[in-house]
């Protein structure tokens, strides 16, 4: 096809290793990628930036042969290619590290890697090869370790090693740092630098703007499936990159000022709970207290007891002693979520679809979900549907929830809009204590700013806010104090303004040293 003019717009004279020309992908009437162009040169780290739903995943899935493009073409060293399946992509030299690992917990590192090797390879050679790769890239993998004993960062390095055994020329990484501590991320960057130095091309998907600036030579930005442009991230600022991603200037969040703190409104005292399920985390002697007007952050790598801690705070899991959790002076450890709401506490769980909200119910029904026991929402067992609709309209208006209909099913909203709805639903009730897990997980930059501002405003009115988040930037931005949860234990809180990310990072990795308060 139009190869000649396609190569003209490439960067420099060299033919890019992998190029995408006017690629379009439609799912029914929805266009996920709209005439996107991308060049990937040898020895470059290329960032793919965009909000959730911008089409990043769709694009890389086409590059890895999982999806077939509707229009447009993919060029490999200048020649158009078709990728009917991931095997074809791997055969060419395209490898991919997914955000979610696919490893067998009970097998060793070597066994997990051997599983994906061609059957002609001998199993006995695998440990040597792993050791070789591990040395070459400083990955520190031990072939005989079972996977269940490894941290997220080590697991990710197995995935990378799996790709490297195929000697790929292009490596695609999907949000690789989302499950890592800052120190683990640092180690990943070193590995990636070596890969780049060998002349491999890396396509790096992320929405962490700082790491993109640090690591990437070029960035291609997608917005709503369309390509906004390609730029050099090092000459941009995080704000200008974010503005490109969302298409408008981001509201500056008013930093947490040095305001007066009220009395202790939420107290957790020596809370211990066994793990609720086989692979869950037990809570060990967790203590914390949050004052009115304060935002208390709980940092930690995913899977260290965050959801268990949230369930204990919300009353979805009951503590053994009433005094383990005290809300506004009332011991509520053995009370359910309804009784805690009656004390004017609000809760926002991590998972919005199916936990915070019922996807097959309308938004006004979802108002009833958490608000049925207060404010005259039910009378003699009957639901006041008019009131629920009115409250739903209020949330939609105050939190700029974009919906296609006045009272749509929750499932029809995008992730960010549903998150604004479930956060707004609780905040508009004016809670005196708010517990919120991953408030801006998977939410675009503009919506995240709205949510964080709303949390700051709520706490300025005297509410106690406890935020559980994996996003350190977020915690440092709005929290007064930060504690770290690691394998079910909560560290002593550190004042956010006089603490460095490195200190928190060490705690996240379980290297807190002697300053545990309990």
- Is 481:288 a contact under the CB 8 Å cutoff? no
Nearer to another protein, 364 or 491 (CB): 364
Q: Taking the complex as a whole, how short is the minimal distance between the CB of residue 395 and another protein, in angstroms? A: 16
Size of the site for another protein (CB under 8 A): 34
Nearer to another protein, 60 or 337 (CB): 337
Q: Which of 208, 141, 129 is nearest to 173 (CA)?
A: 208
Q: Taking the complex as a whole, how short is the minimal distance between the CB of residue 32 and another protein, in angstroms? A: 13
Regarding 314 and contact with another protein (CB under 8 A), the answer is yes
Binding-site member from 26, 284, 372, 501 for another protein (CB under 8 A): 372
Regarding 253 and contact with another protein (CB under 8 A), the answer is no
Binding-site member from 175, 316, 328, 473 for another protein (CB under 8 A): 316
Distance from C-alpha of 414 to C-alpha of 444, rounded to nearest angstrom: 10
φ/ψ region of 426 (left if φ > 0, alpha if ψ in -120 to 50, else beta) reads alpha
Q: Taking the complex as a whole, how short is the minimal distance between the CB of residue 383 and another protein, in angstroms? A: 6
Distance from C-alpha of 368 to C-alpha of 383, rounded to nearest angstrom: 8
Q: Taking the complex as a whole, how short is the minimal distance between the CB of residue 55 and another protein, in angstroms? A: 17
Binding-site member from 15, 52, 344, 378 for another protein (CB under 8 A): 378
Distance from C-alpha of 264 to C-alpha of 275, rounded to nearest angstrom: 28
Q: Which of 307, 288, 293, 309 is nearest to 493 (CA)?
A: 288
Q: Taking the complex as a whole, how short is the minimal distance between the CB of residue 441 and another protein, in angstroms? A: 16
Regarding 117 and contact with another protein (CB under 8 A), the answer is no
Determine the interface stretch with another protein among 173-181, 193-201, 237-245, 366-374 (rule: CB under 8 A): 366-374
Binding-site member from 107, 282, 369, 460 for another protein (CB under 8 A): 369
- Region 482-511 residues binding another protein, contact defined as CB under 8 A: none
Which tokens go with 76?
């490999």
Element (DSSP H or E) covering residue 201: strand 201-206
Binding-site member from 12, 257, 376, 381 for another protein (CB under 8 A): 381
**DSSP labels for 236-285?**
S-HHHHHHHHHTSPPPPPPP---PPP-SEEEEEEEEEE--SSTT---EEE
Distance from C-alpha of 15 to C-alpha of 40, rounded to nearest angstrom: 9
Angle at 330 between CA 325 and CA 336, to 5 degrees: 60
Determine the interface stretch with another protein among 102-110, 128-136, 271-279, 369-377 (rule: CB under 8 A): 369-377
**Residues paired with 21 in a beta bridge:** 73
Nearer to another protein, 153 or 315 (CB): 315
Nearer to another protein, 10 or 408 (CB): 408
Binding flags for another protein, 55-94, as an x/- string (CB under 8 A): -----------------------------xx---------
Nearer to another protein, 155 or 341 (CB): 341
Q: Which of 193, 185, 247 is nearest to 215 (CA)?
A: 193
Mapped onto helix, strand or coil, the DSSP state of residue 400 is: coil
Q: Taking the complex as a whole, how short is the minimal distance between the CB of residue 358 and another protein, in angstroms? A: 4
Angle between helices 182-197 and 152-164 (to 10 degrees): 10
Q: Taking the complex as a whole, how short is the minimal distance between the CB of residue 353 and another protein, in angstroms? A: 8
Which tokens go with 33?
């990628």
Q: Taking the complex as a whole, how short is the minimal distance between the CB of residue 388 and another protein, in angstroms? A: 10
Distance from C-alpha of 455 to C-alpha of 451, rounded to nearest angstrom: 6
Determine the interface stretch with another protein among 107-115, 213-221, 311-319, 499-507 (rule: CB under 8 A): 311-319
Q: Taking the complex as a whole, how short is the minimal distance between the CB of residue 490 and another protein, in angstroms? A: 23
Q: Which of 488, 498, 437, 436 is nearest to 464 (CA)?
A: 436
Binding-site member from 161, 201, 368, 445 for another protein (CB under 8 A): 368
Mapped onto helix, strand or coil, the DSSP state of residue 161 is: helix
Q: Taking the complex as a whole, how short is the minimal distance between the CB of residue 27 and another protein, in angstroms? A: 8
Binding flags for another protein, 326-365, as an x/- string (CB under 8 A): ----------xxx--x-----x-x-x--xxxxxxxx---x
CA dihedral (174, 179, 181, 183) in degrees, to 10, reads -30
Mapped onto helix, strand or coil, the DSSP state of residue 16 is: coil
Binding-site member from 30, 124, 258, 278 for another protein (CB under 8 A): 30
Mapped onto helix, strand or coil, the DSSP state of residue 231 is: strand
* Largest Cα–Cα separation, the chain: 76
Nearer to another protein, 71 or 360 (CB): 360
Element (DSSP H or E) covering residue 286: strand 283-291
Determine the interface stretch with another protein among 188-196, 374-382, 423-431, 473-481 (rule: CB under 8 A): 374-382
- Is 337:316 a contact under the CB 8 Å cutoff? yes
Determine the interface stretch with another protein among 96-104, 194-202, 242-250, 371-379 (rule: CB under 8 A): 371-379
Determine the interface stretch with another protein among 203-211, 312-320, 434-442, 476-484 (rule: CB under 8 A): 312-320
Nearer to another protein, 29 or 498 (CB): 29
Instruction: Strands of 59-200 (E only): list them.
Output: 71-76, 79-81, 94-97, 170-174
- Is 172:95 a contact under the CB 8 Å cutoff? yes
Q: Which residues bind another protein (CB under 8 A)?
A: 28-30, 84-85, 314-316, 336-338, 341, 347, 349, 351, 354-361, 365, 368-370, 372-373, 378, 381-383, 385
């Amino acid at each position: 096809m139009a190869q000649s003019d396609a190569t003209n717009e490439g960067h420099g004279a060299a033919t890019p290793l992998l190029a995408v020309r006017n690629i379009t992908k439609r799912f029914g009437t929805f266009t996920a990628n709209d005439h996107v162009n991308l060049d990937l040169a040898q020895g470059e780290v290329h960032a793919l930036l965009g909000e959730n739903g911008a089409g990043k995943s769709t694009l890389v899935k086409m590059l890895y042969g999982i999806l077939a493009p509707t229009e447009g073409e993919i060029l490999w060293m200048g020649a158009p290619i078709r990728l009917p399946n991931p095997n074809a992509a791997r055969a060419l030299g395209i490898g991919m590290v997914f955000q979610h690992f696919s490893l067998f917990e009970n097998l060793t590192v070597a066994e997990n890697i051997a599983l994906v090797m061609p059957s002609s390879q001998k199993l006995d050679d695998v440990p040597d090869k792993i050791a070789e790769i591990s040395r070459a890239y400083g990955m520190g993998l031990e072939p005989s370790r079972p996977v269940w004993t490894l941290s997220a960062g080590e697991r990710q390095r197995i995935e990378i090693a799996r790709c490297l055994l195929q000697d790929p020329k292009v490596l695609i990484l999907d949000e690789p740092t989302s499950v890592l501590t800052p120190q683990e991320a640092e180690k990943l960057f070193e590995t990636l630098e070596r890969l780049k130095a060998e002349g491999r091309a890396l396509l790096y998907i992320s929405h962490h703007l700082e790491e993109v600036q640090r690591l990437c030579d070029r960035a291609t930005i997608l917005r709503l499936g369309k390509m906004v442009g390609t730029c050099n991230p090092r000459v941009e600022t995080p704000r200008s990159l974010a503005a490109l991603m969302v298409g408008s200037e981001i509201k500056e969040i008013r930093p947490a000022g040095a305001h007066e703190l009220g009395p202790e409104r939420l107290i957790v005292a020596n809370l211990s709970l066994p793990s609720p399920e086989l692979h869950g985390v037990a809570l060990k002697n967790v203590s914390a207290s949050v004052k009115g007007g304060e935002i208390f952050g709980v940092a930690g790598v995913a899977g260290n007891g965050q959801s268990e801690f949230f369930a204990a705070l919300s009353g979805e899991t009951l503590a053994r002693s009433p005094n383990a959790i005290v809300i506004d002076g009332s011991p509520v450890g053995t009370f359910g979520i309804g009784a805690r709401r009656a004390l004017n506490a609000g809760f926002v769980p991590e998972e919005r679809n199916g936990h915070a909200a019922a996807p097959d119910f309308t938004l006004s029904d979802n108002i009833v979900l958490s608000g049925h026991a207060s404010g005259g929402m039910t009378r003699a067992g009957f639901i006041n549907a008019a009131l629920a609709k009115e409250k739903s309209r209020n949330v939609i208006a105050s939190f700029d929830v974009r919906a296609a209909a006045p009272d749509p099913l929750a499932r029809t909203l995008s992730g960010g809009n549903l998150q604004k709805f479930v956060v707004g639903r609780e905040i508009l009730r004016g809670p005196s204590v708010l517990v919120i897990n991953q408030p801006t997980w998977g939410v675009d930059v503009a919506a995240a700013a709205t949510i964080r501002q709303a949390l700051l405003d709520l706490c300025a009115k005297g509410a106690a806010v406890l935020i559980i988040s994996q996003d350190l930037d977020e915690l440092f931005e709005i929290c007064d104090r930060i504690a770290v949860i690691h394998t079910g234990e909560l560290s002593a809180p550190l004042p956010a303004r006089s603490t460095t990310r490195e200190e928190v990072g060490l705690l996240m990795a379980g290297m807190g040293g002697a300053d545990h308060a309990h």
